[in-house]
Amino acid sequence: MATTARVVVLPQNTSELRIETVSLPDPTPQQVVVKQFASGICHSQLHQIHSPRKSPIVLGHESTGVVIAVGDAVTHVAAGDMVMVTWVPRNIESESQPPVAAQLAVSDGLAQSQNVFTWADHTIADQQYVVKVDPSIDKDVTAIIGCAVMTGAGAVINTAKVQKGESVAIFGVGGVGLSAVVGARMAGADPIIAVDLDDEKLAFAKKFGATHGINAGSEDPVAAIHALTSHSGEFNFQRQTSSGADYVFDCIGIRQTMEQILPACRSGYFGARQGGTAVLVGVPTTPVELNAVDVLINEKRFVGSIGGSCAPDHDFPKFLDWHSSGDLDLHAMVTARYTIDHINDAVQALEQGRISGRAILEFDH
């Protein structure tokens, strides 16, 4: 039986989002239909909105909801189960074929998605993007685990594998950056240095575990990070006292920050001590030039982290435990809430930097 859904649609030739009522099809053998409670509003959707496209698009990639129908081949969830929808396959090692990205027939064509769409009161998704969770979880704020928390915290604990006592710097402390701060605190990192252009965001980051804040609009963040991370008795290739963070995360992805995170890293020394690691987390919007000499003589690394290198079946329960224990305060991190009818207001607020943490859509049920 078809399911009626109100869905946010991005038309092919305009950035003005519209709300459309559509009929979701019956699930194929590998699909799940989910009635949604809340969805995150992610900065990466701005890239989609402002990029050229060949068809209409349906947006959103993190949510909470309840299953209302499943395909014949779906075994890990059933109607009535509480779930999270995410854009990363839940357990890629257990699957014999890649998941299928959702498509949806709308008034002006076949709308494409980046794996899933969650800016809708109901969605349909490949079963690999649907993660079963405890029915007692908060139905609203936990929606941001499916991207923001997974991407930020996962980059720290999975991609970088930060250890106790190692130093961390994080460029950009929106929802993803704040999650990276929490991940660093849970890993026992020290210091945890937040870098942003907004003093209020820097102060907010300290509530989640940042030990220092650097306003990159008023001082050189690379120099400031080195000043905070001097290592007495250790030297670099130039025989100067070693400094720099062990791990530096770019949660923004613009050219300036991508080119700052590598020089902000700690220098290695002739194989006796490995250099620091720059981790690209934010979606890049431009090419970047790296100092190859710095990489070589200081034995530094520049790596990418997609979705926090997470396996949702394994990592989501951990993040939910952090939330229930108070270590990950999602109620504080979610600083704005919108209804689906105000999605254009939400996007405008995100573009203008008026959302200090993470915004969500809430659906009436």
Do 261 and 162 share a structural domain?
A: yes
Q: List, in order, residues 6 or more apart from 236 with CB less than 8 Å away.
A: 242, 267, 268, 269, 298
Do 102 and 19 share a structural domain?
A: yes
Identify whether the C-beta of residue 337 lies closer than 8 Å to the C-beta of residue 312.
no
Tokens of 92: 């890629």
> What are the residues facing 279 on neighbouring strands?
249, 303
Residue 272: its pLDDT value, please?
62
Do 165 and 16 share a structural domain?
A: no
CATH code where residue 279 lies: 3.40.50.720
CA distance linking residue 130 with residue 313, whole number of Å: 9
Residue 92: its pLDDT value, please?
79
297: left (phi > 0), else alpha (psi -120 to 50), else beta? alpha
CA distance linking residue 123 with residue 34, whole number of Å: 5
CA distance linking residue 305 with residue 247, whole number of Å: 13
> What are the residues facing 196 on neighbouring strands?
215
* φ, ψ dihedrals at 87, nearest 5°: -100, 0
Do 292 and 153 share a structural domain?
A: yes
Maximum Cα–Cα distance for the chain, whole Å?
A: 72
Residue 228: its pLDDT value, please?
97
Do 160 and 191 share a structural domain?
A: yes
Query: In the chain, how many domains are there?
Result: 2
Element of type H or E holding 226: helix 221-228
Residue 322 covered by a domain: no
Over the chain (365 residues), the average pLDDT of each successive run of 10 is: 92 94 95 98 90 94 97 96 97 83 94 96 97 96 96 98 98 96 98 96 96 97 96 71 92 96 89 86 92 92 97 96 97 96 95 91 85
Residue 263 covered by a domain: yes
Residue 321 covered by a domain: no
Do 163 and 299 share a structural domain?
A: yes
Q: How far is CA 4 from CA 24, 121, 238, in A?
A: 6, 9, 66
CB-count burial class (<10 Å; 0-12, 13-18, 19+) for 18? middle
* φ, ψ dihedrals at 21, nearest 5°: -95, 120
Provide the domain limits for residue 183. Answer: 149-307
Residue 365: its pLDDT value, please?
58
Do 298 and 156 share a structural domain?
A: yes
Tokens of 55: 């068809």
* Strands (DSSP E) found in 133-199: 168-171, 192-196
Identify whether the C-beta of residue 4 lies closer than 8 Å to the C-beta of residue 21.
yes
Residue 241: its pLDDT value, please?
72
CA distance linking residue 301 with residue 249, whole number of Å: 12
CA distance linking residue 4 with residue 158, whole number of Å: 39
Do 286 and 161 share a structural domain?
A: yes
* φ, ψ dihedrals at 43, nearest 5°: -60, -30
- Helix pair 199-206, 175-187: axis angle to 10 deg: 30
CA distance linking residue 43 with residue 283, whole number of Å: 9
Amino acid at 293: V
CA distance linking residue 82 with residue 79, whole number of Å: 9
CA atoms within 13 A on the CB side of 145: 34
Residue 364: its pLDDT value, please?
78
Residue 313 covered by a domain: no
Amino acid at 195: V
CA distance linking residue 245 with residue 169, whole number of Å: 6
Residue 141 covered by a domain: no
Do 111 and 88 share a structural domain?
A: yes
Q: List, in order, residues 6 or more apart from 189 with CB less than 8 Å away.
A: 156, 162, 164, 165, 166, 167, 168, 247
Tokens of 93: 């090692």
Do 289 and 207 share a structural domain?
A: yes
Residue 171 covered by a domain: yes
